[in-house]
Amino acid sequence: MSIVIDIFAWLFIETILGFIFYSTGCVILKVISFGQYKIQFRDYASYKDNKSGNVTLVCLLGLSFYILLIGVLAYLNN
């Protein structure tokens, strides 16, 4: 029973983190392109419907933003 609970917990965490990284990546692309980047970003349901290669790249952009932010904060604290 513990394995089933762990699987559902990790799926829930992966979904939440994926959506956070996706939304961060969308905001970064909108800011960098001065609003020229067109993406249908409305809610969580559209995120789940649009999971494709393009969405994966946007998620990687959001993840790299947070990694860079952690690196900058670690550098500034030294």
pLDDT in single tens digits along all 78 residues of the chain: 688 888 888 888 887 887 888 788 878 877 877 767 666 665 556 666 665 556 677 778 888 889 998 999 999 998
pLDDT at position 75, please?
92
CA-based Rg of the chain, rounded to a whole angstrom?
15
Number of domains into which the chain is organized: 1
> Which residues span the domain enclosing 55?
2-77
CA dihedral sign, ordered 37, 52, 43, 12: negative
Distance, CA of 23 to chain centre: 6
pLDDT at position 54, please?
66
> How far apart, in whole angstroms, are the C-alpha atoms of residue 35 and residue 29?
8
